[in-house]
Amino acid sequence: MHAQRGSFFLTDISFEVQCGTILTLMGPNGCGKTTLLECIAGLQKIDSGKIIINGIDVTDLPPEKRRVGYVPADYALFPNMTVERNIQLAFKKSKGMGLNDLQRIIRLLQIENLMNRSVESLSSGQKQRVAIARALAAKPDVLLLDEPCSALDPPTREVFRREICGMLKEAFRQFGTSVIHTTHDL
């Protein structure tokens, strides 16, 4: 794969993620981690190479056809809407996700008590959980998380990592979703 963003290039990138696994991409800020996720999600075009998900070449498919859930570092939630409405937007577009599946995601991420709250009233950790729930509600084959802990203070970051890893492993088991996430620290 070869991609260009401004004057920055990603070249000779090749990797495979097994179904139901977590892949961590670690590197310093500005090295291209976000650009790589945006290419996989279809938000950035690649100049050469292929992006294959579950044996299907998605290189020329639009983002909504790739079966990829993307959670950017800023969460990309609609702040003036409730948590429930944010999640419903993705759920309505999903193929094969039933209401019972959606309820399991909400329970798994422990956000049942947040459903009627406005997104702007949530903490960073709560917003992250809601953004992950929204991405999973679209029933993606691959979930992309860009710096999921970057907005959290160090003690909260470590607790959140442990909790989210456990929750994501359960999501793999239940839904077969693979995860690629980026970080600049461990």
pLDDT at 12 (0 to 100): 80
| CATH code at 3-183 | 3.40.50.300
Q: What is the domain partition of the chain in residue ranges? A: 3-183
Rounded distance between C-alpha atoms, residue 36 and residue 77, angstroms: 21
User: Distance between CA atoms of 147 and 19, rounded to whole angstroms?
Assistant: 21
To 5 degrees, how large is the angle CA 176–CA 180–CA 183?
Answer: 145
Neighbours of 159 (CB within 10 A): 12
Confidence at residue 122, expressed as pLDDT on a 0 to 100 scale: 94
Walk along the chain (186 residues) and give the pLDDT tens digit of each residue. Answer: 555 555 556 788 888 887 778 888 999 888 899 999 999 999 999 988 899 888 889 999 999 899 999 999 888 999 999 999 999 888 766 666 677 878 888 888 889 999 999 999 998 888 988 999 999 888 888 999 998 877 666 777 777 777 777 777 777 777 778 889 898 776
Residue 178 burial by CB count (10 A; 0-12/13-18/19+): exposed, middle or buried?
Answer: buried
**Model-level pTM?**
0.85
- pLDDT value at position 96? 65
**CA–CA distances in Å: residue 172 to residues 28, 72, 82, 167:** 28, 20, 26, 9
Quick one: which of 94, 77, 100 has its CA closest to 137? Answer: 94
